[in-house]
Structure 1
């Protein structure tokens, strides 16, 4: 007697009422055109917000790197210039020269 090899797996019982169409109130509500339009509007809103968030992230990246490359060195250089002016003013006052009016106010 030749036996066939066993195949693994579990067969699940069929769901109740799978052969007849659902006629409950929940089925009627979920299949209504208002719900389907609302679902479509929610999907569209999610899509638009995802695109907006992605483009906002790209814009923030561009603004941040531009700030680091252009503005931060400018701030550092302006601070150095301010320190140099203060040092010259201090040296002039130590040497006895009359204090000069600051160039920038």
Structure 2
């Protein structure tokens, strides 16, 4: 068994009381409040950012998808006209330029 140091119990009590004083001090309390406030603001900012991203994405889908569908229809009609013109033997619409 290792020999005990003289006065070791006193230093542990003194250390715990110093830690208690530090953790209960006003500056530590202010730091904790500041950290909690920063977390609260960060959460609200992330929530708002996510909400804005969802609104932007939804708006894009509502506005852009019908345009894309219309462009695809127009492309299909142009291809159909080109196929019909080539089957009938007439020159394609852009070939007379």
Normalising TM by the smaller chain, what interval?
Answer: 0.5 to 0.7
Aligned positions, number: 80
Aligned counterpart in structure 2 of residue 67 of structure 1, from 60, 77, 85: 60
Q: Provide the TM-score with structure 2 as the length reference.
A: 0.68
Equivalent residue number for residue 18 of structure 2:
25
Alpha-carbon offset, residue 90 of structure 1: 1.5
Q: Provide the TM-score with structure 1 as the length reference.
A: 0.64
Q: Which whole-Å CA distance do the structure 1 matches of 2:31 and 2:88 have between them? A: 81
Unaligned runs of 5+ in 2: 1-15
* 1:93 maps to 2:59: no
Alpha-carbon offset, residue 25 of structure 1: 2.4
SS in 1 for 2:93: coil
Q: Which whole-Å CA distance do the structure 1 matches of 2:56 and 2:75 have between them? A: 27
Q: Which whole-Å CA distance do the structure 2 matches of 1:51 and 1:70 have between them? A: 28
Alpha-carbon offset, residue 88 of structure 1: 0.8
Equivalent residue number for residue 39 of structure 2:
46
Alpha-carbon offset, residue 68 of structure 1: 2.2
Which has the larger helix fraction?
Answer: 2
Unaligned runs of 5+ in 1: 1-22
1:31-55 deviations in whole A, cap 9, x for unaligned? 2344223212211211111111221
| RMSD of aligned Cα (Å) | 2.0
